[in-house]
A and B are shown apart, each in its own frame.
Chain A
Amino acid sequence: MSLTISKSKRRLAVLINYGCLLLFVGMFITGKYLEWNIAVIVCGLLALIMLLVSFIALHIKTKLWKLAHSKTADLDERELQLTLQSLRHSYIIYAIISLLVIFSLAMLAGRHDSTLIIIYAGLLYLAHTLPSAIIAWREREV
Chain B
Amino acid sequence: MEIRKIYNRISVLREERGVSRKELAEKIGVNFQTVGYLEREEYNPSLDLAFRIAEYFGLPVDMIFSTKPMKPLSREIFDLKNKSGEYYEFNDF
Interface, chain A (partner B; CB < 8 A): 1, 76-79
Q: Is the pair A78, B29 in contact by a Cβ cutoff of 8 Å?
A: no
A77: nearest chain-B partner, CB-CB: B46
> Assuming A1-B33, A76-B30, what are 7 further A-B pairs, CB within 8 angstroms?
A1-B31, A77-B30, A77-B45, A77-B48, A78-B31, A78-B34, A79-B34
Report how far A1 CA is from B34 CA in the complex, Å.
10
A133 CB to closest chain B CB (Å) equals: 23
- Give the bracket for the number of chain B residues in contact with chain A: 10 to 19
Question: 3 shortest A-B CB distances, which residue pairs?
Answer: A76-B30, A78-B34, A78-B43
Residue of A nearest to B34 (CB): A78
Chain B residue at minimum C-beta to C-beta distance from A2: B33
Residues from 23 to 53 in B contacting A, C-beta threshold 8 Å: 29-31, 33-34, 37, 43, 45-46, 48-49
Q: Taking each of A1, A76, A78, A79, which has the highest tally of chain B beta carbons within 10 Å of its own beta carbon?
A: A78
In the complex, per-residue mask of B35-74: 1 if CB is within 8 Å of any chain A CB, else 0: 0010000010110110000000000000000000000000
Chain A residues with CB under 8 Å of B43's CB are 78
Distance in angstroms between the alpha carbons of A79 and B37 in the assembled complex: 11
Bound-complex Cα distance A79 to B29 (A): 12
Q: List 19 A-B contacts (CB under 8 A).
A: A1-B31, A1-B33, A76-B29, A76-B30, A76-B31, A76-B34, A77-B30, A77-B34, A77-B45, A77-B46, A77-B48, A77-B49, A78-B30, A78-B31, A78-B34, A78-B37, A78-B43, A79-B31, A79-B34
B31: chain A residues at CB < 8 Å are 1, 76, 78-79
In the bound complex, how far is the Cα of B49 from the Cα of A78, in angstroms?
10
